[in-house]
């Protein structure tokens, strides 16, 4: 019943992303995170800094070379190019990706950023590693709290995580907090389900567990034929090898409101019920909200509360980790409403 949040998570700040060909200020800003934390406090929630339990739970999910890259990337970039390359205020983000046969990892940092990044929405700044590390520590602490008490815990993870692959950052995400929490739960429970309700496909979480039968991954999201991340999130992606049948993508149309959203939720709940997990990770994105200026869908505040009630009815030990949800007059309240349902 604890909420985990560290002020260190604000150190990833003043970042940018490329949208429609323009470099814009990132929607996933430090101000967004501070706003959520402030609203939770006004709603009577108490936020606690997680303990530092080190790297092992992160390395249980992420590739060692990728984590090493994330830790050092900013210092290497600055050493190579300075703070403002070419005097133009350049940003530590890629201009080329290894989308060619026989690609090899280069030495120069600008090439390595393309190697370790899936898109141009994962700028690295001086505080990126520290913030991502502490977001992950929050997810780990929430998972351990759930295991100790059987009660739901929440981590205000920021940067978010569900687009991050084992070895790549993308979509504002660097470390996959939901996956790290699920892997931590797996230490004590044989079967874990992850339900991702963010408006975007949880492509990183899917990829991390794609060949595993012990972690069911369910993502409900806006159809990728016309929505980020475009290349994954389709119904035919069902897992492979031992994981065949243990990944489920449920889509609704761009701009959808309550009825398609809750219909996708009903199908998610049916799949999770069939799987019969011992514990649940809820990847809580609220960017399908009608008020969200980035997500551009039409789900009401009442529907998010209804969603939380239906998920709460599983009566499972539940870790809730924050994913998306952007500038909106109700952003923090949508999250607080969900936490109220779970008595957090």
119 binds Zn ion (CB under 5 A): no
- With binding defined as CB under 5 A, does residue 287 bind Zn ion? yes
Q: Which of 184, 198, 292, 337 binds Zn ion (CB under 5 A)?
A: 198
Residue 239 engages Zn ion in binding (rule: CB under 5 A): no
225 burial (CB, 10 Å; 0-12 / 13-18 / 19+) is exposed
Q: Are the C-beta atoms of 238 and 248 separated by less than 8 Å?
A: yes
Following DSSP, what letter does each residue of 13-70 receive, concatenated? -S-EEEETTEEEE-SS-HHHHHHHHHHHHHTT--EEPPP---SHHHHTTS-HHHHHHH
Shortest distance, position 93 Cβ to Zn ion, whole Å: 19
Least distance to Zn ion, CB of residue 32, Å: 12
Q: In 3-state terms, what secondary structure has residue 249? A: strand
Of the candidate residues 27, 200, 212, 297, the single one contacting Zn ion (CB under 5 A) = 200
Return d(Cα 58, Cα 202) in angstroms, integer.
18
Question: Whose Cβ is closer to Zn ion: residue 110's or residue 283's?
Answer: 283
**Beta carbons within 8 Å of 109's beta carbon, 6+ residues apart:** 73, 76, 77, 80, 81, 92
Residue 28 touches Zn ion, criterion: CB under 5 A: no
Min CB(288)–Zn ion separation in Å: 8
Answer yes or no: are the C-beta atoms of 338 and 308 closer than 8 Å.
yes
Q: One symbol per residue from 314 to 343: x for binding Zn ion (CB under 5 A), - otherwise; what is it?
A: ----------x-------------------
Decide if 162 contacts 173 (C-beta within 8 A). Answer: yes
Q: 2 or 268, CB closer to Zn ion?
A: 268
Q: Which of 62, 153, 162, 163 is catalytic?
A: 163
Residue 265 Cβ vs Zn ion, minimum distance, rounded to whole Å: 16
Q: Which residue is nearest to Zn ion (CB)?
A: 324
Question: Residues in contact with Zn ion, total (CB under 5 A)?
Answer: 5
Nearer to Zn ion, 224 or 285 (CB): 285
Tell me the C-alpha distance between 154 and 46, whole Å: 11
Minimum Å gap between C-beta 295 and Zn ion is 6
121 burial (CB, 10 Å; 0-12 / 13-18 / 19+) is buried
Residue 163 annotated among the catalytic residues of the structure: yes
The residue among 200 and 212 lying less far from Zn ion, judged by its C-beta, is 200
User: Residue 199: phi, psi to the nearest 5?
Assistant: -70, -15
Rounded to a whole number of angstroms, the minimum distance from the CB of residue 324 to Zn ion is: 3
285 binds Zn ion (CB under 5 A): yes
Angle at 163 between CA 250 and CA 106, to 5 degrees: 140
Q: For binding to Zn ion (CB under 5 A), which residues are involved?
A: 198, 200, 285, 287, 324
Q: Annotated catalytic sites, by residue?
A: 163
């Amino acid at each position: 019943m604890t909420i985990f949040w560290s002020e260190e998570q604000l150190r990833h700040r003043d970042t940018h992303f490329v949208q429609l060909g323009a470099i814009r200020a990132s929607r996933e800003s430090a101000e967004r995170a501070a706003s959520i934390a402030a609203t939770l406090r006004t709603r009577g929630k108490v936020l606690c800094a997680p303990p530092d339990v080190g790297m092992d739970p992160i390395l249980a999910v992420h590739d060692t070379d990728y984590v090493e890259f994330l830790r050092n990337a900013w210092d290497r970039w600055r050493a190579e190019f300075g703070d403002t390359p070419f005097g133009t205020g350049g940003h530590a983000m890629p201009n080329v990706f290894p989308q060619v046969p026989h690609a090899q990892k280069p030495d120069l940092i600008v090439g390595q950023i393309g190697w370790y990044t899936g898109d141009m929405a994962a700028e690295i700044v001086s505080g990126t590693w520290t913030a991502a590390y502490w977001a992950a520590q929050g997810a780990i602490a929430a998972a351990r709290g759930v295991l100790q008490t059987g009660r739901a815990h929440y981590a205000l993870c920021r940067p978010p995580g569900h687009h991050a692959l084992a070895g790549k950052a993308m979509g504002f995400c660097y470390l996959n907090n939901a996956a790290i929490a699920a892997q931590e739960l797996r230490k004590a429970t044989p079967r874990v389900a992850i339900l991702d309700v963010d408006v975007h496909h949880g492509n990183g979480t899917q990829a991390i567990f794609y060949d595993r039968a012990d972690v069911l991954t369910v993502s409900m999201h806006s159809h990728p034929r016309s929505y980020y991340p475009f290349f994954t999130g389709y119904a035919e992606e069902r897992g492979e090898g031992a994981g065949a049948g243990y990944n489920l993508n449920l889509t609704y149309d761009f701009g959808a409101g309550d009825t398609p959203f809750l219909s996708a939720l009903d199908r998610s709940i049916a799949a999770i019920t069939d799987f019969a997990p011992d514990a649940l990770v809820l990847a809580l994105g609220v960017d399908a909200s009608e008020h969200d200026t980035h997500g551009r869908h039409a789900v009401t505040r009442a529907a998010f509360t209804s969603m939380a009630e239906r998920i709460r009815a599983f009566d499972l030990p539940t870790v809730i980790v924050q994913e998306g949800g952007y500038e909106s007059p109700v952003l923090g309240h949508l999250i607080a409403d969900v936490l109220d349902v779970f008595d957090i």
